[in-house]
């Protein structure tokens, strides 16, 4: 970097007060072509307070006042009123909008009014539960006795907590493994359970979320069996249930419900359809409060697209036509960090990987040192591997201005008081809007203005977002999805429920669609015995069910010379990542795999850093098992259903890291694997493709390119990443008999992603088309139709024909975001 302004470093220090618009102008004028695609001014907002609810006791108001809360924000009061009236509520508002007061207020008011009532609080992590414990304990309310109950709780304290605590903080794993199986010891607590608080509920997604949904149903069942005590004052005031949401018929009145069991209070990051997601998670009708009335500082938010690089001179031998790529987001972020630091601006850069954070910090340091020797010392990397004290020291140095630039992996690892920075750089879309705002939220001192910059990576979704600011700053469309009807989740959860107490026909309604089939399956497998009074668990041991499990056994990666366990790779990706000869990266260190032993579930590796990378190739076939729902749109058909995917990793390529040149292709001898899962697929008639100008010979490349881009854009509609999903396209599929593109959930039984794609097909495929059309490359690049995980080496691909395919589909799909549901001929 030649154009660092040394004069600016003289005035470096906290609070340079440089207006963000001015800083942004200086950053962007250093580029020959303007990389900024959009600037959004997110204005400062004054908070809107509401009076304390009448039922909030003076003792509680005074406790909050001691912590600086003189009155709730309006959204907090609204959610608290609904919950106190007995409605299940989800608060889905931004980072730092005070969601915890919204659930603490009704829960603690009830504990103070009713000396017998109890509250259960669930957090996705132990650390969050510990934070919440500090907050509740800090209020110093008589008789509440809050306590964490998790794997770290000493045995000697557990009985005291079960008997005396009235505000128990735990996590879904402990509820599943500890509290529900030991329910006899918890009967007193559960009988008096008034509220269940589910914090950060957007983290319960996919297969894990589907498991948690059933853990909550098991909790509701136990509470109903113990029967809650009548005549508690707040319950007497409770009205009718909130508006129903469609939860696939699992809102049966048999158990729980707003009148009977505990009231569920959920907190979520902003997302699409929070009431539907919360309804699916709890199996109850849930009302959403989504308007954020907390105050915030103003942010100037720039969307930044690194320029396309010209093709390299030695492009002839490069693999897979990877000829045109953008300047890497890491380099771009490093330059921006150096430039901001040179301007004396305190800047935090978020990078997705730990290695990436180190690269960004190192490059920024080098650039600064070239301009002004010694200036590089004011930039550091912030790693998870550091000790807590080291990390806090780095944060303090940044807050005080001794450090000016910090590159970090994850907003959640940072201390809560690291806010008020002048600028935040976000290297690559962090995956969800919640993460984006969590990271951007570190910028902006109170009353001041700050700058946030999202730097796009070479990826279809990043490219789409920097050209479609409405997807970031408008109404959220990305929803948290889960699928409690997944039979691979439902059957083991019903086994757990039966082991807790025999299942009755009424329970089947509680567990929802597919419960009867799953119970029949367990009976046939010899795990349940049917008697007139219900279904009984037949074994002495309880079922072993891992909430985060994928079904397949994870593969341990072991260093052969030392026997040291480096980590695990889930069973589904092992064939791709740790086949014999694979180069495997672990925490920045390069290893080569000597052997993969599938029977023992381990891969043996040794340290080696060759100058090539490895890329597995697979052969995949797919057959349709059943159609759940479909839409007949003339020459186009849209389907949702079950499929069997068979894939076999057959070879791998070795490629030079520097040039991408293919060294050789080596065969592999690995078994084929079967996956039964849920897919969305669309079909087109050959005539409609011909009429759109797609030559018969180009159909495979057209469909393949459309499939890649569609997979890349699905995370816009559902919180998943492209590694959660797979695809297959073919010019003639034996089951559909026409050109077809399939996109399937990469998890046994499905995780809800394909279903979300089906329901939002017009919006999803419309965004896919726009992303491909708007990419500036000529014949396809990683920002549009190329995929980093393609089993066919990105061949064949036709970018212009992919647009024609998508145009035909979109012209025939009904307008509007959602495809209507029609029962399929083989509904399960
Ligand atoms: Zn492109
Ligand atoms: Zn592919």
When pLDDT is cut at 50, 70 and 90, the band that residue 413 belongs to is low
When pLDDT is cut at 50, 70 and 90, the band that residue 473 belongs to is confident
- Considering every ligand atom shown, identify the ligand nearest to the alpha carbon of residue 321 and give its number: 1
Rounded distance from Cα 326 to ligand 1 centre (Å): 9
pLDDT above 60: residue 797: yes
Rounded distance from Cα 280 to ligand 2 centre (Å): 33
pLDDT of residue 766: 95
Query: Of 20-29, 318-327, 558-567, 739-748, which gets the smallest average pLDDT?
Result: 318-327
Please say whether the beta carbons of 338 and 672 come within 8 A. no
Query: Of 126-130, 243-247, 438-442, 527-531, which gets the smallest average pLDDT?
Result: 243-247
* Range ranked top by mean pLDDT from 3-17, 284-298, 322-336, 699-713: 699-713
pLDDT above 80: residue 278: yes
Rounded distance from Cα 657 to ligand 1 centre (Å): 21
CA distances for 593 relative to 572, 585, 791, angstroms: 17, 10, 20
CA 284, chain centre distance (Å):
23
Rounded distance from Cα 785 to ligand 2 centre (Å): 9
Q: How far is Cα 559 from Cα 606, in angstroms, rounded to an integer?
A: 6
pLDDT above 90: residue 700: yes
pLDDT above 80: residue 2: no
How do 528-531 and 534-537 pair as beta strands? antiparallel
pLDDT above 60: residue 258: no
Buried b (16+ CB within 10 A) or exposed e, 196-215: bbbbbbbbbbbbbbbbbbbb
Rounded distance from Cα 710 to ligand 1 centre (Å): 14
Question: Tokens 């430039």 belong to which residue?
Answer: 339
Looking at per-residue pLDDT, the higher value among 715 and 821 belongs to 715
Q: How far is Cα 236 from Cα 331, in angstroms, rounded to an integer?
A: 62
Rounded distance from Cα 626 to ligand 1 centre (Å): 35
**Total-model pTM:** 0.80
Tell which residue, 108, 119, 223, has the closest CA to residue 168.
119
Rounded distance from Cα 777 to ligand 1 centre (Å): 4
Rounded distance from Cα 320 to ligand 1 centre (Å): 14
Q: How many CB atoms neighbour CB 164 within 10 A?
A: 11
For residue 300, list its beta bridge partners. Answer: 41, 451
Rounded distance from Cα 775 to ligand 1 centre (Å): 5
DSSP string, 85-130: TT-EEEEE--TTS-HHHHHHHHHHHHHHH-TT-EEEEE-SSHHHHH
The dihedral sign for the CA sequence 468, 473, 475, 478: positive
* Range ranked top by mean pLDDT from 152-166, 354-368, 395-409, 553-567: 152-166
For residue 596, list its beta bridge partners. Answer: 603
Rounded distance from Cα 172 to ligand 1 centre (Å): 42
For residue 45, list its beta bridge partners. Answer: 296
Q: Which residues contact 58 (CB under 8 A, 6 or more apart)?
A: none
Rounded distance from Cα 323 to ligand 1 centre (Å): 11
pLDDT of residue 5: 33
For 674-684, the pLDDT digits (tens) are: 999 999 999 99
For residue 696 the two structure tokens come to 């018969």
Percent of the chain at pLDDT exceeding 90: 55
Q: How far is Cα 359 from Cα 2, in angstroms, rounded to an integer?
A: 20
Rounded distance from Cα 746 to ligand 1 centre (Å): 25
For residue 192 the two structure tokens come to 């008096």
For residue 60 the two structure tokens come to 């509680």
Mean pLDDT, residues 382-406 taken together: 80
pLDDT of residue 443: 80
For 622-650, the pLDDT digits (tens) are: 999 999 999 999 999 999 999 999 999 99
Rounded distance from Cα 311 to ligand 1 centre (Å): 13
For residue 576 the two structure tokens come to 């791709």
Rounded distance from Cα 723 to ligand 1 centre (Å): 20
When pLDDT is cut at 50, 70 and 90, the band that residue 256 belongs to is very low
For 238-253, the pLDDT digits (tens) are: 433 333 333 333 332 2
- Considering every ligand atom shown, identify the ligand nearest to the alpha carbon of residue 777 and give its number: 1
- Considering every ligand atom shown, identify the ligand nearest to the alpha carbon of residue 462 and give its number: 1
pLDDT above 90: residue 103: yes
Rounded distance from Cα 306 to ligand 1 centre (Å): 13
- Considering every ligand atom shown, identify the ligand nearest to the alpha carbon of residue 459 and give its number: 1
Q: How far is Cα 160 from Cα 156, in angstroms, rounded to an integer?
A: 8
When pLDDT is cut at 50, 70 and 90, the band that residue 182 belongs to is confident
Rounded distance from Cα 401 to ligand 1 centre (Å): 41
pLDDT above 50: residue 300: yes
pLDDT above 70: residue 92: yes
pLDDT above 60: residue 170: yes
When pLDDT is cut at 50, 70 and 90, the band that residue 826 belongs to is very low
Please measure the distance between the N-terminal and C-terminal CA atoms of the chain and give it in whole angstroms: 62
DSSP-based three-state secondary structure for 43? coil
Backbone angles phi, psi at 170, to 5 degrees: -150, -165
Average pLDDT in the chain: 85
Report which DSSP code applies to 715: G
Rounded distance from Cα 758 to ligand 1 centre (Å): 25
pLDDT above 60: residue 493: yes
Percent of the chain at pLDDT exceeding 70: 87
Q: How far is Cα 727 from Cα 744, in angstroms, rounded to an integer?
A: 6
- Considering every ligand atom shown, identify the ligand nearest to the alpha carbon of residue 711 and give its number: 2
Rounded distance from Cα 17 to ligand 2 centre (Å): 49
Query: Of 32-46, 103-117, 567-581, 622-636, which gets the smallest average pLDDT?
Result: 567-581
Q: How far is Cα 66 from Cα 25, in angstroms, rounded to an integer?
A: 44
Mean pLDDT, residues 763-778 taken together: 91
pLDDT of residue 250: 31
- Considering every ligand atom shown, identify the ligand nearest to the alpha carbon of residue 620 and give its number: 2
pLDDT of residue 315: 43
- Considering every ligand atom shown, identify the ligand nearest to the alpha carbon of residue 790 and give its number: 2
Rounded distance from Cα 463 to ligand 2 centre (Å): 19
pLDDT of residue 1: 33
- Considering every ligand atom shown, identify the ligand nearest to the alpha carbon of residue 326 and give its number: 1
- Considering every ligand atom shown, identify the ligand nearest to the alpha carbon of residue 727 and give its number: 2
pLDDT of residue 81: 97
pLDDT of residue 3: 33
Backbone angles phi, psi at 93, to 5 degrees: -135, 180
For residue 408, list its beta bridge partners. Answer: 350, 382
- Considering every ligand atom shown, identify the ligand nearest to the alpha carbon of residue 617 and give its number: 2
Rounded distance from Cα 368 to ligand 2 centre (Å): 41
Mean pLDDT, residues 711-735 taken together: 88
- Considering every ligand atom shown, identify the ligand nearest to the alpha carbon of residue 700 and give its number: 2
For 500-534, the pLDDT digits (tens) are: 999 999 899 999 988 999 999 999 999 999 999 99
pLDDT above 60: residue 229: no
Rounded distance from Cα 729 to ligand 2 centre (Å): 8
Kindly state the helix (H) or strand (E) to which residue 147 belongs, with its residue range.
Answer: strand 146-148
pLDDT of residue 319: 40
Rounded distance from Cα 779 to ligand 1 centre (Å): 7
């Amino acid at each position: 970097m030649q154009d660092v302004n040394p004069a600016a470093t003289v005035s470096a220090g906290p609070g340079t007060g440089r207006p963000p618009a001015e800083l942004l102008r200086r950053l962007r004028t250093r580029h020959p072509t303007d990389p900024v695609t959009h600037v959004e001014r997110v204005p400062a907002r004054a908070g809107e307070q509401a009076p304390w609810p009448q039922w909030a006791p003076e003792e509680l108001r005074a406790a909050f006042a001691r912590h600086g809360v003189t009155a709730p924000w309006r959204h907090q009061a609204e959610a608290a009123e609904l919950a106190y009236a007995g409605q299940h509520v989800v608060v889905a508002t931004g980072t730092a909008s005070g969601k915890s007061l919204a659930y603490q207020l009704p829960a603690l008011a009830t504990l103070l009014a009713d000396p017998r009532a109890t509250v259960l609080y669930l957090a996705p992590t132990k650390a969050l539960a510990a934070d919440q414990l500090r907050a509740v304990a800090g209020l110093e309310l008589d008789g509440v006795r809050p306590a964490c109950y998790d794997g770290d709780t000493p045995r000697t304290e557990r009985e005291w907590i079960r008997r005396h605590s009235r505000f128990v903080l735990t996590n879904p794993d402990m509820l599943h493994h500890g509290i529900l199986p030991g329910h006899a010891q918890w009967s007193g607590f559960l009988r008096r359970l008034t509220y269940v608080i589910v914090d950060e509920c957007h983290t319960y997604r996919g297969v894990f979320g589907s498991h948690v949904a059933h853990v909550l149903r098991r909790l509701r069942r136990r509470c109903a069996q113990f029967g809650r005590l009548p005549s508690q004052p707040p319950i007497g005031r409770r009205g009718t249930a909130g508006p129903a949401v469609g939860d696939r018929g699992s809102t049966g009145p048999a158990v729980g419900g707003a009148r009977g069991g505990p009231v569920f209070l959920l907190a979520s990051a902003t997302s699409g359809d929070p009431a539907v997601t919360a309804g699916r998670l709890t199996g109850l009708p849930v009302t959403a409060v989504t308007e954020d009335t907390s105050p915030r500082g103003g942010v100037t938010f720039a969307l930044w697209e690194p320029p396309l690089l010209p093709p390299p001179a030695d492009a002839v031998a490069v693999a897979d036509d990877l000829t045109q790529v953008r300047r890497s987001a890491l380099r771009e972020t490093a330059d921006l960090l150096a430039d901001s630091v040179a301007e004396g601006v305190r800047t935090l850069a978020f990078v997705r990987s730990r290695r990436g954070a180190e690269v960004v910090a190192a490059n920024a340091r080098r650039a600064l040192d070239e301009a002004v020797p010694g200036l590089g010392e004011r930039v550091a990397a912030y790693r998870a591997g550091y000790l807590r004290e080291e990390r806090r020291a780095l944060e303090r140095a940044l807050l005080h201005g001794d450090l000016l630039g910090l590159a970090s992996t994850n907003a959640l690892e940072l201390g809560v008081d690291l806010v008020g920075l002048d600028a935040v750089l976000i290297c690559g879309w962090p995956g969800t809007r919640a993460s984006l705002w969590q990271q951007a939220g570190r910028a902006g001192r109170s009353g001041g203005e700050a700058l946030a910059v999202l730097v796009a990576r070479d990826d279809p979704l990043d490219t789409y977002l920097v050209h479609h600011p409405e997807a970031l700053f408008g109404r959220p469309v990305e929803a948290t999805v889960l699928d409690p009807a997944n039979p691979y989740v439902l059957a083991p959860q019903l086994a757990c429920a039966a082991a807790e107490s025999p299942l009755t026909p009424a329970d089947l309604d509680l567990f929802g669609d597919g419960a009867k089939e799953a119970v029949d399956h367990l009976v046939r497998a010899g795990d349940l015995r049917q008697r007139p009074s219900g279904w009984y668990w037949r074994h002495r041991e309880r079922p072993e069910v891992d909430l985060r499990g994928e079904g397949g056994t994870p593969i341990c990666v072991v260093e052969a010379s030392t026997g040291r366990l480096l980590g695990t790779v889930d069973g589904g990706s092992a064939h791709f990542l740790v086949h014999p000869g694979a180069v495997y990266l672990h925490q920045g260190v390069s290893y080569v795999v000597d052997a993969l032993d599938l029977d023992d579930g381990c891969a043996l590796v040794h340290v080696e850093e060759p100058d090539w990378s490895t890329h597995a190739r697979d052969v995949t076939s797919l057959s349709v098992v059943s159609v759940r729902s479909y839409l007949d749109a003339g020459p186009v058909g849209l389907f949702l259903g079950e499929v069997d995917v068979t894939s076999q990793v057959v070879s791998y390529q070795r490629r030079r890291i520097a040039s991408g040149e293919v060294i050789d292709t080596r065969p592999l001898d690995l078994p084929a694997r079967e996956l039964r899962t849920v897919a969305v697929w669309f079909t087109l008639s050959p005539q409609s493709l011909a009429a759109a100008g797609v030559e018969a010979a180009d159909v495979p490349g057209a469909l393949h390119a459309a499939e890649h881009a569609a997979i890349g854009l699905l995370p816009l509609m559902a919180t998943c990443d492209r590694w959660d999903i797979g695809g297959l396209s073919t010019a003639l599929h034996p089951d559909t008999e026409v050109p077809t593109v399939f996109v399937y959930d990469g998890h046994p039984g499905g995780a809800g992603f394909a279903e979300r794609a089906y329901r939002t097909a017009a919006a999803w495929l419309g965004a896919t088309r726009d992303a491909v059309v708007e990419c500036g490359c000529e014949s396809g690049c990683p920002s549009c139709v190329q995929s980093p995980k393609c089993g066919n080496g990105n061949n064949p691909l036709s970018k212009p024909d992919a647009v024609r395919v998508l145009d035909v589909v979109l012209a025939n799909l009904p307008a509007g975001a959602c495809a209507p549901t029609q029962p399929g001929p083989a509904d399960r």
